[in-house]
Amino acid sequence: MNRETWHLILRLIGALSKCPTKLKASNIYSFKMGKRMEHTVVIRNYQNADREECRALWRELTEWHREIYQDPTIGGEHPELYFDKYLTNIRPAHVWVATLDSKTVGLIGLIIKEDEAEIEPLIVSKPYRRRGIGKQLIETAINEARKTGIKFLNIAPVARNVQTIKYVYNLGFQKLGFVQLFIDFTNKKWKPGLKLHGCTFDY
């Protein structure tokens, strides 16, 4: 693709981004890959056509949890089907995907209950991380949460997901509201050493 054709495509994208009906459904972001090529990330509402790619993202999230907990049974044999169950409990208008070159690479949802809301899930496919896509998804959810007039917005990563905890902390999630404590009657292996209020926990 020559430079003139690429510039024409970027101008068309810019024109579309100024269209009110387009802005209502999506946000458009650009980032550079290499010296010349510029790729555009689109954040838009979930559509039925996204189902299979979102199922794949859900499976990828489950596999990450299996890895950090060293438990291959998490999510069962077909964890991607939990995405279908998730959709039955949430309005599609509160689910967004990130697309790059027509490929769905990220997913986020906003579960609203009365005057509170929770971000669930937050997924960016591993090959596309560290490009600002997760931040764009979270900003979309935050902006929507503000519009609804809720009082609190939370996100609940699992305790071992240290990478995500640090990530969302740096994006403003710095209030600690609810801590889940439990007794494990299985032989599961836990990591020691997490401290809170002078207490040491396995996690």
User: Token pair 């991607």 is at which residue?
Assistant: 80
Render pLDDT for 74-118 as a digit per residue (tens, 0 to 9). 999 999 999 999 998 888 889 999 999 989 999 999 999 999 999
The domain that contains 95 carries what CATH number? 3.40.630.30
- Residue among 106, 164, 172, 179 nearest 136 (CA): 106
Report how many domains make up the chain. Answer: 1
**Per-residue pLDDT, 77:** 94
Render pLDDT for 113-136 as a digit per residue (tens, 0 to 9). 999 999 999 999 999 999 999 999
Domain span at residue 151 reads 3-201
**Per-residue pLDDT, 37:** 47
